[in-house]
Structure 1
Amino acid sequence: MTTQPDHPNPADRPQGPVPPGPQDGDEIPTCYRHPGRETYVRCQRCDRSICPDCMNAASVGYQCPECVREGNKTVRRAEAAFGGRPVTTPVVTWTLMAINVLAYLAEVFRTEEVVNRFAMSADYVAAGEWWRLFTGAFLHSPPPSYWHILFNMWALYAIGPQLERMLGSLRFSAVYLLSALGGSVAIYLFGTWAVGASGAIYGLFGAMFVIARRMGYDARGVLWLIGINVVLTFVIPGISWQGHLGGLVAGVVTTALFAYAPAANRKAVQLATVIGMLALYAVILVTLSPIGTSLTG
Structure 2
Amino acid sequence: MDQAAGGSPQGGAQSLPVCYRHADRETGIRCTRCERPICPECMVSASVGFQCPDCVRGGSGTGHAPDASRPRTLAGGTVTADPRLLTKILIGINVAVFIAVHAWPSLLDDLFLLGVWPPAPYTPTEGVAEGEWYRLVTSMFTHNEIWHIGFNMLSLWWLGGPLEEALGRARYLAVYFVSGLAGSALAYLLASPTTATLGASGAIFGLFGATAVLMRRLNYDMRPIIALLVINLIFTFSPGFNISWQAHIGGLVAGVVTGYAMVHAPRRRRALVQYGTCALVLAVVVALTLLRTAQLT
Instruction: Provide TM-score, normalisation by structure 2.
Output: 0.69
2:217 & 2:280 partners in 1: Cα distance? 22
Aligned partner of 1:220 in structure 2 is: 223
Deviations 1:88-130 (A, max 9, x none): 311100000000000000111112x221111111221111101
1:215 & 1:290 partners in 2: Cα distance? 44
Aligned partner of 2:102 in structure 1 is: 108
Q: Is the 8 A contact 2:188 2:292 kept in 1?
A: no
Q: 1:232 to 1:268 in 2, by over 3 A?
A: same
Which portions of structure 1, spanning 4 or more consecutive aligned residues, are displaced by more than 3 angstroms? 288-292
Q: Is the 8 A contact 1:190 1:290 kept in 2?
A: no
Counterpart residue identity of residue 106, structure 1: A
Counterpart residue identity of residue 244, structure 1: H
Deviations 1:123-166 (A, max 9, x none): 211111010000001001x2xx3100000001111121111000
Matched ranges for 1:2-21 at <5 A: none
1:274 & 1:231 partners in 2: Cα distance? 28
Q: 1:75 to 1:133 in 2, by over 3 A?
A: closer
Aligned partner of 1:121 in structure 2 is: 114
Q: Give the drift of 1:288.
A: 3.5
Q: Give the drift of 1:76.
A: 3.3
Pairs aligned (count): 215
Aligned partner of 1:169 in structure 2 is: 169
Matched ranges for 1:248-263 at <5 A: 248-263=252-267
Q: Give the drift of 1:169.
A: 0.6
Aligned partner of 2:90 in structure 1 is: 96
Q: 1:177 to 1:203 in 2, by over 3 A?
A: same
SS of alignment partner, residue 121 of structure 1: coil
Q: Are 2:292 and 1:282 aligned?
A: no
Q: Is the 8 A contact 1:188 1:291 kept in 2?
A: no
1:75 & 1:169 partners in 2: Cα distance? 16
Aligned partner of 1:188 in structure 2 is: 188
Q: Give the drift of 1:224.
A: 0.5
Counterpart residue identity of residue 204, structure 1: L
Rg larger for: 1
Q: Are 2:281 and 1:239 aligned?
A: no
Instruction: Provide TM-score, normalisation by structure 1.
Output: 0.69
Q: Are 2:147 and 1:147 aligned?
A: yes
Aligned partner of 1:230 in structure 2 is: 233
Q: Is the 8 A contact 1:182 1:247 kept in 2?
A: yes
Q: Give the drift of 1:211.
A: 0.3
1:271 & 1:248 partners in 2: Cα distance? 18
- Unpaired runs of at least 5, structure 2: 1-66, 117-126
Q: Give the drift of 1:260.
A: 1.2
- Unpaired runs of at least 5, structure 1: 1-73, 293-297
Q: Give the drift of 1:248.
A: 0.8
Q: Is the 8 A contact 2:186 2:288 kept in 1?
A: no
Percentage identity across paired residues of the two chains: 40
2:205 & 2:175 partners in 1: Cα distance? 11
Q: Are 2:71 and 1:78 aligned?
A: yes
Deviations 1:1-36 (A, max 9, x none): xxxxxxxxxxxxxxxxxxxxxxxxxxxxxxxxxxxx
Q: Is the 8 A contact 1:122 1:187 kept in 2?
A: no
Aligned partner of 1:44 in structure 2 is: none
1:196 & 1:103 partners in 2: Cα distance? 11
Q: 1:189 to 1:290 in 2, by over 3 A?
A: farther
Counterpart residue identity of residue 93, structure 1: T
Q: Give the drift of 1:189.
A: 0.7
Aligned partner of 1:67 in structure 2 is: none
Q: Are 2:274 and 1:270 aligned?
A: yes
1:156 & 1:81 partners in 2: Cα distance? 20
2:290 & 2:268 partners in 1: Cα distance? 35
Q: Is the 8 A contact 2:101 2:107 kept in 1?
A: yes
